[in-house]
Amino acid sequence: MSKKPRLGFIGVGMMGQIAHLANYARLRDEGECEIVGITDLKPLLARAVAEKYHVPRIYENATELLQDPSIDAVVCIQQWPNNYALVKQILLAGKSVMTEKPMVGRLDEAQELVALAQEKGVLYAVGFMKRYDAGVEVAKHLFEEFRHNGELGNLLEVDAVCDGGDWIQNAGAPVIADDPTPLPPLQPTYPDRCTTPEQRAAYGYLVNIFAHTVNFCHHFLGKEMRVYAAQFRRDRGMQSLLRSDDVLVTVHGATSASHEWREYTTFNFERGHLMVKTPVPLNRQQSARVYLTRPGEQGFVTTEYHAPVDWAFFREAQGFVRALAGNVPLRAPAETCLWDVRVMEQIIDIAEVI
Ligand SMILES: NC(=O)c1ccc[n+]([C@@H]2O[C@H](COP(=O)([O-])OP(=O)(O)OC[C@H]3O[C@@H](n4cnc5c(N)ncnc54)[C@H](O)[C@@H]3O)[C@@H](O)[C@H]2O)c1
């Protein structure tokens, strides 16, 4: 691997542009990577995006891009049902890859891809950008410190909520080309016992929204959770009860037309708590807010920690480029995301969907 990774992009739709290519273009302009070329099933869109971001080459399709030996790694930003087939193609071509979350629809697919990446000796990153959030970094430090120094007592319970409303919040519009090329229908795959339309709608909701929440809990707890109960209001609301050793975990939330995005995780210890409020995904101007409550001299005291203002998606792109250059490990490597896929399979397996 050269010190300046050379990247190709497969898929430059909305997230591909706003949350990914735009950040890699900034890193290219700062001298950290090169962008060799892009491809999209919509050729007019690819052309317009290449022009906007000064990308020198447009490939006819993914196969042509993957045949280019000058590309080290591919940023492949797709609707999740495409991930399995495309990531497999990319890994077979011997290139490192980053995709959005969720990883894939089934655990056996995820395991196969992780094994393939290991066999090929390439990096496989999944887009859990919250792990790169500057406020989450602060919270993780505090969590480790207080979990080990005993000042707050044992960790009893984790409450992870994602009540999603407007997740875009004036992020700016992507390039939209008037490209009539029809896209092939998506072909999602599901766990074996996820067969009814209601279950599949619930599973889509789970892997789209709560993949983040489940991954976040695993990131802090450092151990895979087990699932004990779950209920869905189809694809509008869900609650699930999990456990990691003796720590109780609740993951829940609802989707509404609210102007807000209320996402927070509280780690409840015997003598205090740590709360992390993670921001709206496309807000570039906000890191997670972190509040620690613990005993003071005159009652409990809450301290708010202010991490630097930054955007988790930019830091994620930086993390991928630096990992490709061999400088740092990935923070959300695919092998750690196997836990999430397994837990989400267990959730839908056990869930009542109403
Ligand atoms: N991390 C987050 O917080 C977050 C937020 C929103 C969405 N997402 C994820 O982002 C993903 C992508 O969303 P999006 O809005 O960019 O989708 P999109 O439909 O706007 O874009 C996908 C693009 O990929 C192209 N494409 C599909 N198959 C292709 C192929 N084989 N070769 C080349 N191009 C191909 C399509 O033409 C399209 O332009 C979603 O699956 C979602 O899970 C993540």
Q: What is the pLDDT of residues 188-213, one digit of tens each?
A: 999 999 999 999 999 999 999 999 99
Same domain, 209 and 90: no
Domain that holds residue 285: 131-310+340-353
pLDDT of the residue at 181: 87
C-alpha distances in angstroms, 213 versus 4, 25, 117, 180, 277? Answer: 33, 29, 25, 36, 12
Q: Is residue 313's pLDDT more than 90?
A: yes
Same domain, 198 and 289: yes
**What is the percentage of the chain residues whose pLDDT exceeds 70?**
99
Same domain, 60 and 198: no
Q: 22 C-alpha vs ligand 1 centroid, how far in Å? A: 15
pLDDT in tens, 64-86: 999 999 999 999 999 999 999 99
pLDDT mean over 279-305 = 95
Give the span between the Cα atoms of 51 and 57, in whole angstroms: 10
- Ligand 1 pocket (Cβ < 6 Å) reads 10-11, 13-16, 39-42, 45, 62, 77-80, 82, 86, 100-101, 127, 129, 183, 208, 281
Same domain, 319 and 344: no
pLDDT of the residue at 1: 52
86 closest CA partner among 108, 68, 63: 63
pLDDT of the residue at 59: 98
Q: Using an 8 Å Cβ cutoff, are 52 and 40 in contact?
A: no
Same domain, 54 and 138: no
pLDDT in tens, 153-187: 999 999 999 998 888 888 888 999 988 888 999 99
Instruction: Provide the token pair at 127.
Output: 């887009």
Identify the CATH number of the domain in which residue 299 sits: 3.30.360.10
Nearest CA to ligand 1 atom 30: 41
How many domains would you assign to the chain? 2
In this prediction, residue 228 has a pLDDT band, given cuts at 50, 70 and 90, of very high
Nearest CA to ligand 1 atom 5: 281
Q: 210 C-alpha vs ligand 1 centroid, how far in Å? A: 18
What is the rounded average pLDDT for all residues in the chain?
Answer: 96
pLDDT of the residue at 130: 98
Q: Is residue 136's pLDDT more than 70?
A: yes
Q: Is residue 2's pLDDT more than 80?
A: no
Give the span between the Cα atoms of 346 and 193, in whole angstroms: 10
Same domain, 18 and 143: no
Same domain, 114 and 141: no
